[in-house]
Amino acid sequence: ETGVTQTPRHLVMGMTNKKSLKCEQHLGHNAMYWYKQSAKKPLELMFVYNFKEQTENNSVPSRFSPECPNSSHLFLHLHTLQPEDSALYLCASSLAGAVSSYEQYFGPGTRLTVT
């Protein structure tokens, strides 16, 4: 799992807290993604960044705020979350523009619990 790393691996936060999830890719990729994975739903795409620019916001509530300072790092800032936001948050990266640009490499995820 050295290709895409995520920190923290586990996070418990109250509904009034502010926290951030971090993702770093060491693969030389130029596209990064945030997904939400909950127990009863398929992987849900949240955000897509291509060359540091946000190209997709899949109707995500504003209490989730992504940031992509460079092609290797991606953050997800969290504030005033709801218990239903508890899930596994996965980061992925890919090499956009390449023949196999659809192949995404995932990190291990951050298990988030909102109390």
Partner 1 sequence: GESVGLHLPTLSVQEGDNSIINCAYSNSASDYFIWYKQESGKGPQFIIDIRSNMDKRQGQRVTVLLNKTVKHLSLQIAATQPGDSAVYFCAENRAAGNKLTFGGGTRVLVKP
Cβ closer to partner 1: 80 or 101? 101
Spatial separation of the C-alpha atoms in residues 58 and 99, rounded to whole Å: 25
Q: Which stretch binds partner 1 (CB under 8 A): 11-19, 64-72, 76-84, 105-113?
A: 105-113
CB 61 to partner 1: min, Å: 20
Spatial separation of the C-alpha atoms in residues 74 and 68, rounded to whole Å: 5
Q: Are 67 and 75 in contact (CB under 8 A)?
A: yes
By CB under 8 A, is residue 90 in contact with partner 1? yes
Spatial separation of the C-alpha atoms in residues 107 and 23, rounded to whole Å: 8
Positions that interact with partner 1 (CB under 8 A): 1, 4, 31, 41-43, 45, 48, 50, 55-56, 90, 92, 94, 96, 100-109
